[in-house]
Copies of this chain bind each other. A is one copy, B any other.
């Protein structure tokens, strides 16, 4: 195998596929990129068993030759080292040449690297076939769906299935749910009624795809009973499902709300952030206290002291009501709504409450309150 390639294009695909490579792999060949030069261009694959990313560079784009002087073939090269070499190369082009099956040279004007490499056959089998059910959506819709939900997924491995986003296509709706059991995000989008699937896709895979899809117009999601596949531009991402049954969240969103509080999101976020300085004894727990005339966010620490922040831009009607919550849960939920004004709906002091975007019914955030002192 041999090719001379535009450095920027090479770096772009190495960066994309490199997102799947990490140093904690069980299977040693996966610390490498698989490079394949075929009659369609250069294909770069990176994988860590749970996610596989393949990106490619065509020979030519918009009349500009990106790859020249090439010979077909395939090889495995240490991913970290290759990425660092290309990142630090400043010349416009570089040439990779597999001298025999064990040595590859990489050269530009001033540098020559000789890298030990491995036969492509040593790489694990990668299944990038788009089988199962298919769904196409705009990248913007996909990105927003991920941003509005992924933060609520668990980062702890005790219940692995909670580290996933539960994606369900049924009855003309795509529903994305993330929960760590103390809070939940639920996003619903309209889709074609003949697509049906359920998949628990790792939230970190969804985050990676959300990053990679940027700049592409659309994304195709294919779900079989073994894997999910994301295709966009010249990149394919395959994700293995998280094992386990996703909890039933059908009755998590409360329906009858007794206290409604509408507030400017920016002002609320600032007040929470400032009150939070004093939430030391019970980490991040603050109190929201509402009446028709005054709304405050407060926190106290027996050791250090207490704080009270007054909110000026709000609408609240009804009996005075107060509730304690984890300020980080509420802040991330409010930010994810991406709206100037947000509406809180409370049932009672000890019941989960909802936070919604005033102008967008497709997304709802649910947070469990903290116990009173």
Contacts and interface: CB of A to CB of B under 8 A. Distances in A.
Interface of A: 78, 81, 84-85, 88-90, 103, 110-116, 270-271, 273-274, 277-278, 303-312
A274 B112 CA distance: 10
A116 B277 CA distance: 14
A304 to B, nearest CB: 6
A110 B312 contact: yes
B113 A307 contact: yes
B305 A84 contact: no
B116 A85 contact: no
A84 B310 contact: no
B81 A112 contact: no
A235 to B, nearest CB: 26
B274 A88 contact: yes
Task: Kindly report how many copies of this chain are found in the complex they form together.
Answer: 2
Nearest to A111: B309
Contacts of A85: 274, 277, 307
- Which 10 pairs of residues, A with B, have the shortest CB-CB distance? A115-B305, A113-B307, A114-B305, A110-B310, A84-B277, A88-B274, A114-B306, A111-B309, A116-B305, A112-B308
Given A88-B270, A113-B277, A116-B304, 16 more contacts: A78-B304, A81-B277, A81-B304, A81-B305, A88-B273, A89-B274, A110-B271, A110-B309, A111-B308, A111-B309, A112-B307, A113-B305, A113-B306, A114-B305, A114-B306, A114-B307
A312 B312 CA distance: 66
Contacts of A311: 110
12 contacts: A78-B304, A81-B278, A85-B274, A88-B274, A110-B309, A110-B311, A111-B308, A114-B305, A114-B307, A115-B304, A115-B305, A116-B303
A326 to B, nearest CB: 19
Contacts of A273: 88
A310 B277 contact: no
A274 B111 contact: yes
Contacts of A110: 271, 309-312
A89 to B, nearest CB: 8
A341 to B, nearest CB: 18
Nearest to A309: B111
Contacts of A307: 85, 111-114
A306 B113 CA distance: 6
A113 B81 contact: no
Contacts of A306: 113-114
Contacts of A312: 110
